[in-house]
Structure 1
Amino acid sequence: MSGAICVVLLLIFLYCIGLFDGELKVKPAVFSGGALLVMLILLLNSLLSLRDKSAQIVLNESYFSGKTTPLAKAFGAGNWEDVTAINLQKVGGDTLVVVTLRNASNYKDRLPSMLWKMAYHAATQELNIMYSASVITIESDELYGLFMSYWKLSKKESGIH
């Protein structure tokens, strides 16, 4: 779909620079050229991400990490011992698994300022990291169950009940 949009934008750009009728249309050429550039960057980025064969979400007894949302990707790996809650939250057309973490100061240097403001809840001094099941081939309830089972497993491993 992105490729088709790029082709259409390229044709519009070529028309605006006068390739077909010899008449230069500056404003539409600038607009279509800018839109084409943005779409090409997005297309290349998505094509490069197809080559990434690593797991979208990693869960084990000691940590969890994921790349299903920009926030989760920037956050990296979190420790199960800092988890205080795991919930499902409906956001737009997607249901996200939200992992709430204490000791937010331990994770502050991982996130850019904008993402930190999205994740940090000042009243409770906790971080909310969101993971989406829509990127992988399971339902959000199943992903929630996996997060819960690994969290419970990590509590047993560390002796916390």
Structure 2
Amino acid sequence: MNEEIKFYRNAKKTRNLLLYAGAISALLAIMLLYGIGTFDGVFKIKLSIVSGAILLIMLVLTFKVLAGIKDKSPLIQIDSNGFSGRTTPVAKAFGRIEWQDVTDLQLTKVGGDTLVAITIDNKAKYEGHVSKFLWKMAYDEQNSKLNIMYSASEIEINAEELFNLFLRYWKK
């Protein structure tokens, strides 16, 4: 098991994600138009602000995915010494993680996606790798461990297969 495994972007899954994001953005745009009074002439400030802010975030994320769609580098790399991934912002920021630092692996359902959650014990080794914002997202203060999640939503395999692959390499 010394070979390196690389997972690349699955064009079909990425296209489906972009279609869902486009549909949600269209609904948010309609809500924004309704909120500013385009249909009934009544300005609804809370609806306008909320739908406008969420629409802006969705559009920025969608354009980031569109800009990175030409990137042919692997989204997840796994070998006998460690792994790295770019499927979530926190995983991308942390970079390469060694198997010796991993204490637990789990499948976690977040929203409509199932993620592989990896718990890391050696926080001092990874502390300088990320911004304070991403550190707060990954660091669990109760048990002093880092939780980093990897998504299979854009790669060739599903979350359960990715979890089993991580588990096999970790156990070795």
For the criterion TM > 0.5, the same-fold answer is: yes
> For 1:96, which of 106, 115, 123 is the aligned residue?
115
Equivalent in 84, 90, 108 of residue 103 of structure 2 = 84
1:70 aligns with 2:115: no
1:46 maps onto 2:65 in alignment? yes
| Percent sequence identity over aligned pairs | 47
Q: What amino acid does structure 2 have at the position aligned with 1:146?
A: L
Q: Cα 1:43–1:62, aligned 2, differ >3 Å: closer, same or farther?
A: same
C-alpha displacement of 1:123: 2.1
Provide the rounded CA distance (Å) in 1 between the counterparts of 2:157 and 2:117.
Answer: 16
How many Å separate the matches in 2 of 1:145 and 1:85?
13
Q: Deviation at 1:121?
A: 1.1
Q: Quote the Cα distance in structure 1 between the aligned partners of 2:82 and 2:55.
A: 41
Q: Aligned-pair RMSD on alpha carbons?
A: 3.0
Task: Select which of 134, 144, 147 maps to 1:125.
Answer: 144
Selected match of 1:60 from 65, 79, 104:
79
Give unmatched runs, 5+ long, in structure 1: 13-30, 154-161
SS at 2:153 equivalent:
coil
1:36: Cα distance to partner? 10
Q: Secondary structure of the residue that 2:128 maps to in structure 1?
A: helix
Instruction: Please list, as runs of the form range in 1=range in 2, the aligned pairs for 1:97-116 lying within 5 A after superposition.
Output: 97-116=116-135
Residue aligned with 2:157, SS: coil
Q: Distance in 1 between matches of 2:145 and 2:55?
A: 41
Note closer, same or farther for the CA distance 1:49–1:105 as it changes in structure 2 (3 Å cut).
same
Offset of residue 45 of structure 1: 2.7
**Deviation at residue 127 of structure 1 after TM alignment:** 0.4
Give 3-state SS (helix, strand or coil) of 1:131's partner: strand
What SS does the corresponding residue of 1:52 show, helix, strand or coil? coil
Instruction: Measure, in 1, the Cα distance between the counterparts of 2:61 and 2:157.
Output: 26
TM-score (norm: length of structure 1): 0.69
CA distance in 2, matches of 1:40, 1:128: 28
For normalisation by structure 2, the TM-score amounts to 0.65
Which contiguous aligned blocks of 4+ residues in structure 1 show a shift greater than 4 angstroms? Answer: 34-44
Aligned residues: 134
Aligned equivalent of 2:11: none
